[in-house]
Structure 1
Amino acid sequence: MTRLFAWLAGALLLLVLAAGGLMAAALESKPLVERSESISPATINQARRLFHANDPRRLREGESRRTVIPATLIDEGINALAGRALKARGAFILTEDAAEIRLTRRVPLISGAAFLNLQARIRQGDGGPKISTAAIGPIPIPPFILEAFLAIASRAGGYGTEWQLARQAIHELAFDPRRRLVIVGYTWEPALLDRARTIAFSPDDLVRIRSAQESLAALLDHHAPERRIPLANVLQATLDVEGSDQRKNRRAAMLVLGVYLGGKNIASLIPEARGWSQLRPVTMMLSGRNDSAQHFAVSAMLAAWAGEPVADAIGLYKELADARHGSGFSFADLAADRAGTRFGELLNREDRRLDTVLNRNIHDRDLVPPLGDLPESIGATEFQRHFGSTASPAYRQLTAEIERRLDSMPLYEPQQP
């Protein structure tokens, strides 16, 4: 969905840029949306529950369903996609009988504050969502023109089939602003899942991912089953790739490694991978721990493919869930998560520091900060007693210490603008 959203929202922004003389009139001195790009652990939990309630693998063709989506999930999702795809900010606002999508992007290379603000109101009812009003800055856009433009843009971008399938699938839209819920009625069409996979992984991506899977399988075949091997060695071998696009090759390698260390079969994401080389089970270690290797690799994969806010939110959500039901909250695991997130972001940006590390022998200290003195195995009651919440000064003091340790590492130290 990131690519589809990026194309549609980006096309909408280009509508103004292409208008030439309207550009100056569309700019405003204040942003319509002003917020950070972070995603809360609660949103991750909402997304998880929504997926399990509407797992496409259990739906029958032609089956009609009604599902309830928290408005906060849509709101944070739009903001995260806007940030990752457009370097913008987004919001989803519910009113009595409509919803409003807002986007703000700061316009560079213009002296002073200049913002491009977009807003579109979507009305509820049978027959799927309809745009009722829209505007770019102070300039109103007739809804039928905007809908026609989005349809044309989706076809031009190669997403025409996905756009039509999604519109045809949704037959009801209702808003409950008091409880901040969106009710969607849809008819399941298996082609939606196939097209979603096509958007998520292009044919070139699949070639790279299969090559990465085969390379990792060949590497692991040199080790006895269940043998403990350093994650640093595996990273050095799997990320030492060449080709026409090294960044994409490394992202593919990180995806394969993250899925593997996350305990999943890549065929759950890519069905045709059932016929690919299988990976021998080994135990990868980082800073003397297997769980640190898992946290690092999964967070690096998420950051490389979904972005830093998603990776951070999932890492924090897992620790809070562990505090309630599992092994307890662990600041050591959280530090491994944050290190992995930073690593994935460097990989995604093709940062030269990553090349410097990969060109010599990698050690654990290159990847994660010291973990041994960070509090672990904190149950829910103890967490509440010592920290209260993730917004408390005590909690922020520890997370600030983790960030300080990461900032002091050559690989992750902040760069001067």
Structure 2
Amino acid sequence: MKTVWKILLYGLAGLLLLGAMLVFFGVNDKPDLDVGWSLAHDDIARAKTILHEGAKTRPDEIGTIELTESDLNLATNYLLNRYSKSAVKIELKNNKVRFTVTMTLPENSLGQYLNISFRLGNDNDTELPGITKFKVGKLLLPAKLAAFVIDNVIRHSSLNQYFILATRPIKAVQIDEKKVAITYFSNQETLIQARNFLTNRSPSPALAIYQQKLAEIIDRHDPEWRLSLADLLQPVFELAYQRSTLDNAIEENRTAIFAVNDYVNKKEARKLLAAPASRLSAGQQYSAFLYKRIDLAQHFIGSAAITASVNGQVAQAVGEEKELSDAVDGSGFSFIDLAADKAGTRFGEMATASPESARKLQKAMAQVKDYRDFMPDPRDLPEKMSEADFKSRFGSIESPAYQEISKLIDARITAAPIYNRE
């Protein structure tokens, strides 16, 4: 019995030592890769095509996806940057996939970045690749040890359900110098489980509280007046300020933003963010306005919700992509809508950047009197441009003319009272 306890003790000590080594060698103030990765419109379109490739195969059929080195880099960077400013460099060499990863960490005293690199390959003719090399910073770890630790971390954390859903359908992976070929088989049951897990969140008690607050606001609203977005955000963030400490301020802000977005954008909110059904009463519903326009309120809070849920860079790219799409077959490209997207993105970033920033926004929003405090007037900007008009005036979103207006919008947002308070 003593031997068993010694083995357990040594094993625990070894894991603690390994964890300390990972932190010491992997966390650094210098990134191995530039994390300033930017999303171009074409990049997003291609990444979405790659990530939805598997949807072409019907349930209970075997499918194969072939991804080039370029495809892997694009799709992986797109996914990783949904959650933090990060970068991945993937190389196909000697029938192995080489990963170099830099991730931005929350504020801490050890360093701003986590740098790791590893290789995946099909050793011993296995169908699924495994880790053949693993480095944290400059520290090279035994591949089997790294694989064991990573596997146990995943299986004993909230990542396990994602891991199972991602790997269960994969039957074989073949790697050569030009591509990675993934063979998969998804039955109907697996697809239903994945859909239910990824698109349905149980309503939290906090969400119900904010929805009840919104219901009270709507019940008291004078139908003779437009419902300002500020009329929703001010009392909701006042409530968030009352409910929060530094420990939970970010999550309270997320929940508050989701609740408001669910009301303002209704079906769009649930479709885009997989939000649960609203608990607001089935009574009178009023559209929210910014500068006498419903679409501006929708753009603002929608972008804030995307940013709070994922990443500000993604929110900005989604806004630009939407406007470019509107130029082709919608209401036309609108810098006015884009300004609301950008302001909402800034709002979402400030709401979730850090506990201190979250509390600062709560306090400021609890005191606002007008939506001009968080949304500058965009009504002098160009809008309703067809695809031909947009290309004639601006060419593309990379052009100097486009960037000039984009910077003007950014400057106006920065000057708004909410974002420039000390």
Separation (CA, whole Å) in 2 of partners of 1:272 and 1:78: 23
Separation (CA, whole Å) in 1 of partners of 2:87 and 2:421: 23
Contact 1:226 1:283 in 2 (8 A): no
Q: Name the counterpart of 1:7.
A: none
Contact 2:374 2:417 in 1 (8 A): no
Separation (CA, whole Å) in 2 of partners of 1:329 and 1:99: 41
Indicate how the Cα distance of structure 1 residues 30 and 195 shifts in structure 2: closer, same or farther if over 3 A, else same.
same
Deviation at 1:173, TM superposition (A): 3.1
Alignment of 1:252-401 (within 5 A): 252-264=255-267, 273=277, 277-278=281-282, 280-348=284-352, 349-350=354-355, 351=357, 352-401=359-408
Deviation at 1:377, TM superposition (A): 1.1
Contact 1:216 1:279 in 2 (8 A): no
Indicate how the Cα distance of structure 1 residues 168 and 55 shifts in structure 2: closer, same or farther if over 3 A, else same.
closer
Contact 1:127 1:170 in 2 (8 A): no
Q: Name the counterpart of 1:247.
A: 250
Residue deviations 1:124-147, cap 9 Å, x none? 798444333332234433333222
- SS of the residue corresponding to residue 172 of structure 1 reads strand
Q: Name the counterpart of 1:80.
A: 81
Contact 2:365 2:418 in 1 (8 A): no
TM-score, structure 2 length as denominator? Answer: 0.77
Identity of aligned residues (%): 27
Q: Name the counterpart of 1:71.
A: 72
Alignment of 1:81-120 (within 5 A): 81=82, 84=84, 88-95=86-93, 97-104=95-102, 117-120=115-118
Separation (CA, whole Å) in 2 of partners of 1:37 and 1:128: 30
Q: Name the counterpart of 1:187.
A: 186
Indicate how the Cα distance of structure 1 residues 394 and 59 shifts in structure 2: closer, same or farther if over 3 A, else same.
same
Contact 2:170 2:182 in 1 (8 A): no
TM-score, structure 1 length as denominator? Answer: 0.77
Separation (CA, whole Å) in 2 of partners of 1:127 and 1:267: 38
Residue deviations 1:292-335, cap 9 Å, x none? 10110100111111121111111111111111221111111111
Indicate how the Cα distance of structure 1 residues 296 and 59 shifts in structure 2: closer, same or farther if over 3 A, else same.
farther
Deviation at 1:368, TM superposition (A): 1.1
Contact 1:151 1:160 in 2 (8 A): no
Deviates most, 341-350 or 87-96: 87-96
Indicate how the Cα distance of structure 1 residues 116 and 230 shifts in structure 2: closer, same or farther if over 3 A, else same.
closer
- SS of the residue corresponding to residue 254 of structure 2 reads helix
Deviation at 1:55, TM superposition (A): 6.1
Separation (CA, whole Å) in 1 of partners of 2:228 and 2:411: 25
Residue 231 in 1 paired to residue 212 in 2? no
Alignment of 1:169-208 (within 5 A): 169-174=169-174, 183=182, 185-188=184-187, 189=190, 190-196=192-198, 201=201, 206-208=204-206
Q: Name the counterpart of 2:212.
A: 214
2:81 alignment partner AA:
A
Indicate how the Cα distance of structure 1 residues 28 and 207 shifts in structure 2: closer, same or farther if over 3 A, else same.
closer
Indicate how the Cα distance of structure 1 residues 304 and 266 shifts in structure 2: closer, same or farther if over 3 A, else same.
closer
2:419 alignment partner AA:
Y
Alpha-carbon RMSD across the aligned residues, in angstroms, is: 3.9
Separation (CA, whole Å) in 1 of partners of 2:138 and 2:212: 54
Larger-Rg structure: 2
Deviation at 1:231, TM superposition (A): 0.9
- SS of the residue corresponding to residue 185 of structure 1 reads strand
Deviation at 1:388, TM superposition (A): 1.4
